[in-house]
Amino acid sequence: MKKIVSGLLAAALAILLALPARAGSLAVEAEACLLMEKTTGQILYAVNEHQQLEPASVTKIMTILLVMEAIDSGALAYDDMVAASAYACSMGGSQIWLKENEQMSVEEMLKAVCVASANDCSVALAEHLAGSADAFVERMNQRAGELGMNDTNFLNPTGLPAQGHVTSAHDIALMSRELILNHPDIRRFTTIWTDTLRDGAFGLSNTNKLIRFYQGATGLKTGSTDSALYCLSATAERDGMELIAVILKSPTSTQRFESAKTLLNYGFAAYALAQAQPPEPLAPIPVELGEAPAVTPRLAGDPSILAAKEKVNAMEVQIELEERLSAPVEEGQQVGRMVVTSGGEVLSELPLVADRPVARLTYWQILERCLQAAFMGG
């Protein structure tokens, strides 16, 4: 196997110049917290991340996720009309004061949940989607299990206080990532600062103050009750990297936002997300006794690399390829690998695969080619 080694990925990564502000312990005022990068799912900082705590209205991230999954699958549409039941109207807490049998579109109710944390709309959407709030809660817990949210037990779609309704900073990050990674249209709602419903008659103001006051903020959901105290899943994007900062049981509303900013600032200062690629076009690899003379290697797998900025700035790429192959060759067959290192540390290793299948020549095809070569040579 031959090797091709690049120089520094300076051209692609020259903008990532700052060195990280290392932190042994960040100034976060909360019982539990976690910082995660969206693309890779890598955890960058965490304290008590698996401690089971009340999430308050941060619960609604799962409610929103199930609604968005239904929309994106075609089972639900933004313009579908939802009627409010007496039960949905009885929720109390944060709400838009739905009247029994009042109808609103899925889009309007989703906006009310994302911006104003409307409990009545959360339950109305849950009932519309699953037939009842209890059936919807079963879906919530099933989805939590599928996402690996092992610290979680949901009892309602709202986060209103209920004994045993718990989750963790780790699990909130998992469902937050699933939402923003696979359903980016939710940003249309989570980035709204102020808006209206009912033809302008009812005003909405985002409970997440970072949307207005933090550069790159993209969401996501606040929550607070007397027992849960102040909670938040905050998302923000800068330079192509989106971070998720989870805060649970912070003493005050101001401290939860400041703590989230501390986590986000640390992540953006210390880390960079790079897309590693071969340093130059990869040469075809000859295929012996194949119907085609060669295959062209291509990169397989996710080329995203999350690392400390000083490591990103010193990244090197090494390409290892087979010198030749013997037919048959399958499409996607591994023919080499790309290894990304920094200061001798391997950051990533990705396979290089054949771009197409190549069948083996039959006996008669080989004979025909031999005769053609002999005739042409004569």
Q: What are the residues whose beta carbons fall under 8 Å from the beta carbon of 94, sequence distance 6 or more?
A: 57, 116, 117, 118, 119, 207
Overall size of the chain counted in residues: 378
- Provide the 10 A C-beta neighbour count for residue 222: 25
- Provide the 10 A C-beta neighbour count for residue 81: 12
Instruction: Tell me the C-alpha to C-alpha distance, in Å, between residue 32 and each of 62, 110, 285, 348.
Output: 19, 28, 52, 30
Helix (H) or strand (E) holding 360: none
Q: Active site includes 117? A: yes
CA–CA separation, 74 and 24 (whole Å): 46
CA–CA separation, 103 and 303 (whole Å): 46
Fill in the DSSP letter of residue 281.
P
Place of tokens 């049998």: 101
Q: Which of 38, 60, 249, 311 is catalytic?
A: 60
Whether 59 contacts 180, CB under 8 Å? no
Q: Active site includes 60? A: yes
CA–CA separation, 147 and 132 (whole Å): 23
C-alpha count within 13 angstroms, C-beta hemisphere, residue 65: 28
The overall longest dimension of the chain from CA atoms, in Å, is 94
Whether 250 contacts 233, CB under 8 Å? no
Q: Which of 38, 57, 221, 348 is catalytic?
A: 57
Q: Which of 38, 94, 111, 117 is catalytic?
A: 117
Whether 231 contacts 56, CB under 8 Å? yes
**Catalytic amino acids?**
57, 60, 117
